[in-house]
Structure 1
Amino acid sequence: MKKELKDTIIAELGEKLKAYPHFYLVDLAGLNAEKTSELRRKCFKSEIKLLVVKNNLLHRALMAADVDFEPLYGCLKGSTAVMFTQTANTPAKLLKDYKKDGVPALKAAYAEESFFVGADKLEELASLKSKNELIADVVALLQSPAKNVVSALQSGANTIHGVLKTLGERPE
């Protein structure tokens, strides 16, 4: 491979590292062509960018990045594919579906500005909540007291006495 081509690939990987806040390093060895195509289709549907890369070129791109990715350098052995994503837990959920086959295997991940090294971190990554899920939880918590007051007002026939009686009868 010519030096110009290598430099271009490193620059493209650097751009992807900037564009996507989360990425997973995965070992695809052991997948046949059919399973690899199926995985690529599922990644496309889930808005995950899957790239098979040379470890040396990825290492150079990680070294040139603004973030210190040193904990991931040890995982760059064997065949490596990178799953770039905007949502931290989406690739983990996809990989969990394949867990029974053991392929593809998680090597490491950079998600929510944290490093997760090793295949045993897959459950932890899958349980991470996305930004939208966290917002939905907060909104639900904020709406709960308001719903209680509204239901108390409606059940008490719109009287202060009825509201106090209804709130007093509710179990804690």
Structure 2
Amino acid sequence: MSKYLKNLITDDLKKRLDGVSDLLVVDIAGLEANKNVELRKQFRQKGIKMLMVKSSLARRATEGTALAPAFEGAQGSATVVWGSEDVVALAKEITKYAEDKAFAPFAPKGGVMGGSKLSAEDVKKVSTWPSRGEQLSLLVGQILSPGANLVAQLLGPGAKLASQVKKKSEEEEG
């Protein structure tokens, strides 16, 4: 491959990865062509982008960025996956497809999250974390919980008193 062509590919890769802070690297070597197309289609529907690239070109394109650790020591071709709601949701999807026997050789190889390199085991650990949406719902629940408890404590005795007053008034009328 000529130096000019390598520079063109590197520039294109830089443009594609511009603004990406987290990505995962997966292994799709040996995946049947039809399964590969099906996998890419399913990823596309979920807003996940997948690109196969030479590791050396990816290393050149990400040099000096937060994505560089993902390609340290990598050789051969690498399939880069990014997108989704957040890196946890992406890791969940990757792990789900890796465990699916229909996509048998598909497996996570590593990646980068917040500038830190991830191993294949780290990707599996990250997939067990709560996603951004789950974290927000937990946070909202924790914020609203004290208020809900206070309202219940205030309404409980008030409801008892109101029912006793109503009962007394019914006795006096009857």
Quickly name the TM-score band, shorter chain normalised. 0.7 to 0.9
Q: Matched residues, percent identical?
A: 28
| C-alpha distance in 2 between matches for 1:91 and 1:32 | 22
Q: What is the aligned-residue RMSD (CA, Å)? A: 2.6
Q: Deviations over 1:82-105 (max 9, x none)?
A: 001251022321222233345212
Q: Deviations over 1:57-112 (max 9, x none)?
A: 1111122x3337246311x2233110012510223212222333452121111123
Q: State the SS of the aligned residue for 1:156.
A: helix
1:58 is aligned to 58
TM-score, normalising length: structure 2: 0.77
1:67 is aligned to 66
| Matched positions, count | 159
| C-alpha distance in 1 between matches for 2:41 and 2:78 | 18
Q: Deviations over 1:146-171 (max 9, x none)?
A: 011112222222689xxxxxxxxxxx
Q: State the SS of the aligned residue for 1:18.
A: coil
Q: Pick closer, same or farther for the CA change 1:110–1:136 going to 2, 3 Å.
A: same
Q: State the SS of the aligned residue for 2:37.
A: helix
TM-score, normalising length: structure 1: 0.78
Larger Rg: 2
Q: Pick closer, same or farther for the CA change 1:12–1:130 going to 2, 3 Å.
A: farther
Q: State the SS of the aligned residue for 1:51.
A: strand
| C-alpha distance in 2 between matches for 1:95 and 1:131 | 16
| Structure-to-structure mapping, 1:65-104, within 5 angstroms | 65-67=64-66, 69-70=68-69, 72-74=71-73, 76-86=74-84, 87-100=86-99, 101=101, 102-104=104-106
Q: Pick closer, same or farther for the CA change 1:120–1:73 going to 2, 3 Å.
A: same
Contact 2:110 2:123 in 1 (8 A): no
Q: Pick closer, same or farther for the CA change 1:159–1:11 going to 2, 3 Å.
A: farther
Q: Deviations over 1:40-65 (max 9, x none)?
A: 012112211100111221111122x3
Range with bigger deviation, 133-142 or 51-60: 133-142
| Structure-to-structure mapping, 1:98-137, within 5 angstroms | 98-100=97-99, 101=101, 102-117=104-119, 119-137=120-138
| C-alpha distance in 1 between matches for 2:139 and 2:47 | 25
| C-alpha distance in 2 between matches for 1:105 and 1:61 | 24
Q: Pick closer, same or farther for the CA change 1:77–1:105 going to 2, 3 Å.
A: farther
Q: How far off is 1:29 after superposition?
A: 0.5
